[in-house]
Chains A and B, each alone.
Chain A
Amino acid sequence: GDSVTQMEGPVTLSEEAFLTINCTYTATGYPSLFWYVQYPGEGLQLLLKATKADDKGSNKGFEATYRKETTSFHLEKGSVQVSDSAVYFCALSDRSGGYQKVTFGTGTKLQVIP
């Protein structure tokens, strides 16, 4: 079955540091890939997505490239801010029995210190 593996957290960085959160996946079909972010006390919200191989999703300075050859979708940001402190979830969406099936990773908590 489908699965998503994320690096374990928490990840603690100083403000303006470079961020990478690793995400790899296994899927039987041709999935779409997503990064969701959950700020403290809130639900998840979509950060970015990529729907086919070599696509790059980007939003709010975050980027991730859909790498089919390495089955990866690593999240990067060049300079993190304190306001980026949150839990980040990698997810894949695939067709299963004619419907969409979504599989989430376990989440990676990011703490950015001033």
Chain B
Amino acid sequence: EAGVTQSPTHLIKTRGQQVTLRCSPISGHTSVYWYQQALGLGLQFLLWYDEGEERNRGNFPPRFSGRQFPNYSSELNVNALELEDSALYLCASSLVTRDPTYEQYFGPGTRLTVT
């Protein structure tokens, strides 16, 4: 069974540019979560999509947005990039989102560097 996949692996952008990150969940998982992991810090929750709807978002500005497609894959968009957006962006999927006993499965992440 294929795991969660993310693309691209690495990305270098300039301040003010826009970036799109992509995530494909494990087959059968309908929920996708996005996290930001800045260097030396823990995971900061960004967004949660379930069955095509945004269910929750973390404490991030509106220039962080995304969507989920009918095949449950997801995109994270970041507009007007700032230097502090440099981080590892992790995507996770979960089989059952209404049952807290189910774990999340993480992708390898996309390393974004903003110069």
| Residue interface mask B83-99, A partner, CB < 8 A = 1 | 00000001010101111
Q: In the complex, which of the residues A32, A45, A94, A105 contacts B42, with contact meaning CB atoms closer than 8 Å? A: A105
Q: Would A34 and B50 count as touching, CB distance under 8 A? A: no
Assembly CA distance A34 to B102 (angstroms): 10
> Which A residue sits closest to B97, measured CB to CB?
A100
Q: Would B42 and A107 count as touching, CB distance under 8 A? A: yes
Assembly CA distance A101 to B56 (angstroms): 9
The answer to whether residues A104 and B43 also contact, given A43-B108, A44-B90, A99-B97 and a CB cut-off of 8 A, is yes
| Residue interface mask B32-54, A partner, CB < 8 A = 1 | 01010000011101000010000
Assembly CA distance A104 to B58 (angstroms): 13
Which of B33, B92, B106 has its CB near the most chain A CB atoms (within 10 A)? B106
The answer to whether residues A43 and B101 also contact, given A89-B43, A106-B41 and a CB cut-off of 8 A, is no
B104 close to chain A: CB less than 8 A: yes
The answer to whether residues A95 and B98 also contact, given A46-B103, A101-B56, A106-B41 and a CB cut-off of 8 A, is yes
For residue A106, which residues in chain B have a CB less than 8 angstroms away from its CB?
A: 41-42
Assembly CA distance A94 to B99 (angstroms): 8
For residue B63, which residues in chain A have a CB less than 8 angstroms away from its CB?
A: none
A72 close to chain B: CB less than 8 A: no
For residue A104, which residues in chain B have a CB less than 8 angstroms away from its CB?
A: 35, 42-43, 45
For residue B97, which residues in chain A have a CB less than 8 angstroms away from its CB?
A: 99-100
The answer to whether residues A44 and B100 also contact, given A89-B42, A100-B94, A102-B33 and a CB cut-off of 8 A, is no
| Residue interface mask A84-114, B partner, CB < 8 A = 1 | 0000010001110011111011110000000
Known: A31-B100, A42-B109; 17 extra A-B contacts, CB below 8 A, are: A32-B100, A32-B101, A43-B4, A43-B92, A43-B109, A44-B90, A46-B105, A95-B98, A99-B56, A99-B97, A100-B97, A100-B98, A100-B100, A101-B56, A101-B100, A102-B45, A107-B43
Binding site for A on B (CB under 8 A): 4, 33, 35, 41-43, 45, 50, 55-56, 90, 92, 94, 96-109
